[in-house]
Amino acid sequence: MSNATKNLKKAAALSLSVATLLGTAFTASTAMAGGGTPQNLNNIYETRRTGYVVGDGFDYKNPSNWNQNMKISSAVANDDPRVYLSGWTPNNGWLNPLWEKPIDMYDLYGAYDHNNLYLMWEMVDVTDKLDASYASDTKPCDDGRYDAPMFIAVDNHGGKSGVKKYIGNQARMKEDGSTIWKSQNTWDTNQLGITSIIAMSNQRSKMNDREVWNYDGDQGGLNKTAFNKQGIEPHIMDTNIANDIYGFAGYKADKQTNRYPDECYNKNNYYVDYKYNGHNWGQRDYMYAIKIPLWTLDMDFNNMKSKGVDVQVVAGALPGNAAGIQSLPFDHTTLRDAQQYANNIDTRRSMAEISLKKFTVPFASVGGC
């Protein structure tokens, strides 16, 4: 570890520019997957490939078994779209956007063995630093009011058969053109290769293979029939293994911070390292890990070594309106139209009700190297 990185870790209340981060904790964003359009984000966002192979029977439910060499995507803390809202509404006066719990993805990790693909992603909640009076002891994954879907889009590059059976029509349902699970999520299938989408709930009570659904399709879109009980097994761990938790400071409704949805493009942003700035990450953060049998992706170990898979994980916020408000790799579509909803805030309608999403960024990659 460089002296510069050690100094960053020792800082108790540190704001960092992207220029400071370069050469220490992060490297430049590099899209490793084959399709998609890079969005020229600042250098704190990262997409990469890992060829990390673990021993068969890898205990993916143990946080200590995951490490930074498995990381395939990095994002930023405190960029749930609700932090960009002013909080002022014509009919209800001022409402603090923090009354809703955040869905905030940070890092994505991947590995594989002879039988399974393993993915893990971190969720952070820095409300305790933004305004402790709104910090909840109950995480969204344990609160049924926040029961929303998560989607894992996968490209197997033709898999064992070698035939690239890609899903078209923006990954809409072939039957009626609706979005998967009525989520308002679409993907640019003219550029992105998607061969399957795995759908699951974000709730701890539903972490079993009966509640995980695997969709395939063709150029017409996703097939109506999906498959569960395939041994795809998710799990939640109550911790965070990130070395640092870099994030934006403040939120717009506190009237002291200028937050704007395009700040992800700014090369001169300043970031707070929440992990060393009083955030109780051990209590508030959590991680999802999932074991996906290779056969469910039409893959085997040799295919993973030679081709690998590309993946993106998308997370919604609330039931009934599951538009992706976070993704790894990060896509700016998750922040689209956030500001216009500042005038629609009330306690009956979620501030996460954002319009139709279209994901375009290149996916992260596991294997193939």
Look over the chain and give the mean of its residue pLDDT values, rounded to a whole number: 85
Q: Is the per-residue pLDDT at 305 higher than 80?
A: yes
Q: Please list the residues that pair with 111 across neighbouring strands.
A: 118
Per-residue confidence (pLDDT) for residue 84, from 0 to 100:
83
- Mean pLDDT, residues 162-183: 94
Per-residue confidence (pLDDT) for residue 27, from 0 to 100:
30
Contacting residues for 329 by C-beta, under 8 A, at least 6 apart: 31, 45, 47, 73, 75, 108, 312, 361, 362, 363, 364
Alpha carbon distance 328, 121 (integer Å): 8
Structure tokens at 359: 């994901």
Least confident of 167-181, 218-232, 328-342: 328-342
Per-residue confidence (pLDDT) for residue 30, from 0 to 100:
39
Give the rounded distance of the alpha carbon of 176 from its chain centre. 27
Unique residue bearing structure tokens 């143990």? 62
Q: Could you report the per-residue pLDDT of 243-280, keeping only the tens digit for each?
A: 999 999 998 878 778 888 889 998 888 899 999 998 99
Q: Could you report the per-residue pLDDT of 183-218, keeping only the tens digit for each?
A: 889 999 999 999 999 999 999 999 999 999 999 999
Q: How confident is the model at residue 89 (pLDDT cuts 50, 70, 90)?
A: low
Is the pLDDT higher at 80 or at 7? 80
Beta strand 357-359 pairing with 185-187: parallel
Is the pLDDT higher at 46 or at 337? 46
Strands (E), 207-343: 213-215, 217-218, 221-222, 233-237, 246-247, 270-273, 286-293, 309-315, 326-328
Per-residue confidence (pLDDT) for residue 33, from 0 to 100:
55
3-state helix, strand, coil in the chain (%, to 5): 25, 25, 50
Alpha carbon distance 286, 272 (integer Å): 19
Q: How confident is the model at residue 90 (pLDDT cuts 50, 70, 90)?
A: low
Give the rounded distance of the alpha carbon of 155 from its chain centre. 17
Least confident of 43-52, 175-184, 314-323: 314-323
Write down the pTM of the prediction: 0.90
- Residue 206, SS3? helix
Alpha carbon distance 188, 144 (integer Å): 31
Share of the chain above pLDDT 70, in %: 83
Of 12-16, 31-35, 39-43, 297-301, which has the strongest mean pLDDT?
297-301
Report H helices in the chain.
3-10, 18-21, 127-130, 281-284, 301-306
Q: Is the per-residue pLDDT at 137 higher than 80?
A: yes
Per-residue CA distances from 339 to 45, 86, 335, 346, 353 (Å): 22, 8, 9, 15, 11
